[in-house]
Structures are given as C-alpha cells and as structure tokens.
Amino acid sequence: MRNVVDELNPPPRRLMGPGPVDADPRVLRAMSMPLLGQFDPAFTEYMNEVMALYRQVLRTDNRWTFLVDGTARAGIEAAMVSLLAPGDRVLVPIFGRFGHLLCEVAARCGADVRTIETEWGTVFEPDRIAAAIREHRPALVAIVHGDTSTTMAQPLAEIGALCREHGTLLYVDATATVGGMDVRVDDWRIDVLSTGLQKCLAGPPGSAPITFNERVEARVRERRHIERGIRPDGFEAADGPVVRSNYFDLGMLMDYWSDSRLNHHTEATSMLYAARECARIALAEGLDDRFERHARASRALVAGLDAMGLERFGDQTRKMPNVTGVEIPAGVPGDAVRAMMLEDFGIEIGTSFGPLAGRIWRIGTMGYTCRKENVLVCLMALETALRAHGFRAPPGEAADAALAAWSSP
C-alpha cells in the first residue's frame, strides 16, 4: 500500500483571532494563476504594478516600495539588518509582545538596544518618546503601530517629526494596521515601514510589503554589496559593513526591484499575485471606506460584548478597531470556551500570551473577516459557550446591541 495522506480538505472556519484571518476568495483565486518566469516581461510588469499599488496603500511617494518574501517579520528583519550594523544604537518603545520582537531582532543584528516600556494595555505619550530620544540619541527608533498582543495602537503622527529633529531614522511595524486603520507614511514622516498581508489586507501570511525613503536608501547604500557570482564588471562595494543577511539585504533587493533586475532570490510568484490582489481590493473599496468598515465592526462587537456584561481590556481610547481584547470573566475556563467556539461553531478567536496569558481573549474583525454577519455569529457563539461554562449573559441581547450599533452612524 502506498503511504499517502488524503487530499487537503481543511475544515470550514471563520478565523476571528488576531491573524491570520480569512483570506478574500479573490486573493486565493489570484494565487492559483499560472506561474511566470521572474524575468518574463509580463511578470516584471506585475512587480512594477505591485510597487505602484503599495505606494497608494501606504500613502507614500517612496520609490522603494516593494515586497520582502516571508511573513511580516521578514519585513522587520530586512529593515533592521539593513539599517543596524553591530554597535549601532536603536531605541525601542515597548508596549506589547511585538516591541519585544523588535528588540530581539535588533539584538541579533548586534545593535546597542535601548528600551522604554509601558504597561500592556497602554501606549506612550509622545513626550516620553521624545525624552528617551534625547537621553539615548539612537540612530534608529523602531516602534510597532498596532500591537495585536495588547490590541492597542500607538499614535504615530508626531513621532516622525521628533525623529527628524534629532537626526534619527524611524522604523514602524504596521503589520496589524495597514488596510484597517489609517497609516500615512509620508505625512507622518516615517522613514521605513513594513507590514504583512494576513490581517487587514485580507491575504495569506507570506509576503511583507515594505517602503522606505531616500534617508534610508542613503544609509543602505553605504553598505552596498553584490554577490560575487552576479557582480557586474567594475562594481565597487561601499565602505560600510556588509549587511549580515543575504536574503534581507535591502540594497540587493533594490537592485532586484529596479530596472537593473539584478538577480537575487526567486520572487515568490504566487505571493506576489496575492499581494497585488490584496492591494487592488483595498484600493477599489477606498481606504477611508475600509477604515470606516473596520471602525463600524469594532463598535458593533464592543456593543455586543458590553451587552453580555463582559469587560474590555486596555485603554479604550487607544484600542485598535480591528482587534478587541476581552477580559475572561472570573471562574470561566478561557480555553474551554475557545475550544467550544471552534468545535461547535467553527469560529476561531485568539488566546493571549506574556502577562495577559489566560487573562484575555482577542477577537479579530480584520480584512475579509470584518463583516456584519461575522460579528453577529461570533457574539452568539460566545454567548452560548459562556452559558455552557457557567457565565450567564442575558440571552440575545448581544446580537441585538451589535445589530443596532452596526446600523447607527
């Protein structure tokens, strides 16, 4: 007997955790298109289209706007390893798990990592970041926009100007917010920003759009290097230290994504199709309308949770609209409730980690998942699962409250 397993047949689910969430079927269709060679003019034209589309999605004129292959952390790694040489100083304001991830990546680059921290569930006042920049005088400030671990979003509008004043570059991890909350790379004077597809952009994990300006380009060029086997005649490497990663060297990626098309990795064809479709869908909906849809879903979900008598987690003035933290009521077994939602209703909601482990659930209403019927079905399933585990929510009130909130302006 041949040792084979069955054809893939994943159980139907509504993915309503902090990501990945359901991909838009149009994105999945785009991914099933035939492959092309990476230097086929049809494919290089798609690469150019992707650059133009993501300039619009990220509200930037940056020439260097392209995809890093890999999940969202590939974008983080590319920015960090290309900008931070051993000993370079970076300041990371930490307000959740992904701030710690930025530190971890920076430390692996050999950077001199300085941090400030605030309690999970809160974010920073700009003054506190300004004081830390003055104290540490970093070459780079690296910060998360929306941290899914706490469901909070850090206001960024003033941080870019602060960094300019002090000659510091600003990197932003906007994995959880692009496509669901306003992100203005140029207006907010962000030097380099990366994201992922699997949250508010309604795609699968595996591609990390990145954008950066000429300040970053200049820094990257100081470390310019080309692999020996593809080096053009007469090429002279720059004086700066070689970037410690080949795959994530932004300088070599620039060569690949520019007219010189200098061979680097094999572009992940199907992921590029996915990224292209995600951006097309977001822009066709209209970014502002899309943000309003996320805000509306958040209002409806919150109205339903309140009607059930549940407490929300964190500073509600800083809550992301696309993911909501809910306190697990005392005496309720959080994992058993989640398991019942998955097994009996086919709905996945998120658990949490670090200081919030066992304390909150996280419910995502992002991208393609961000729809009225999902909010309603999720609330009804949660209500039933809570009742089964001894928490008495007033029957039916959550869905009624959510419906009413959805319809109000």
Ligand X SMILES: Cc1ncc(COP(=O)(O)O)c(C=O)c1O
Which residues make up the interface to ligand X (CB under 6 A)?
18-19, 71-73, 98, 144, 147-148, 173, 175-176, 196, 205
- Nearest CA to 347 out of 367, 329, 327, 373 is that of 373
- Nearest CA to 333 out of 377, 391, 375 is that of 391
Minimum distance of ligand X from residue 194's CB (angstroms): 9
Minimum distance of ligand X from residue 102's CB (angstroms): 9
Q: Structure tokens of 60?
A: 């930037």
Minimum distance of ligand X from residue 71's CB (angstroms): 3
Minimum distance of ligand X from residue 166's CB (angstroms): 25
Minimum distance of ligand X from residue 180's CB (angstroms): 12
- Nearest CA to 151 out of 343, 287, 17 is that of 17
Q: Which residues of 159-170 are buried (b: 16+ CB within 10 A; e: fewer)?
A: bbebbeeeebbb
Q: Which is nearer to ligand X, 221 or 265 (CB)?
A: 265
Q: Which is nearer to ligand X, 354 or 390 (CB)?
A: 354
Q: Which is nearer to ligand X, 159 or 376 (CB)?
A: 159
Neighbours of 40 (CB within 10 A): 11
Q: Which is nearer to ligand X, 333 or 355 (CB)?
A: 355
Minimum distance of ligand X from residue 69's CB (angstroms): 12
Q: Which is nearer to ligand X, 76 or 375 (CB)?
A: 76
Amino acid sitting at position 263: N
How far apart are the C-alpha atoms of 116 and 26, rounded to whole Å? 42
Minimum distance of ligand X from residue 254's CB (angstroms): 22
Q: Which is nearer to ligand X, 146 or 304 (CB)?
A: 146
The CA distances from residue 216 to 202, 220, 264, 365, in Å, are: 29, 6, 20, 33
Q: Which is nearer to ligand X, 202 or 303 (CB)?
A: 202
No. of H helices and E strands in the chain?
A: 13, 13
Put the strands of the sheet holding 192-194 in their side by side order.
Answer: 64-69, 207-212, 192-194, 169-173, 140-144, 89-94, 112-117
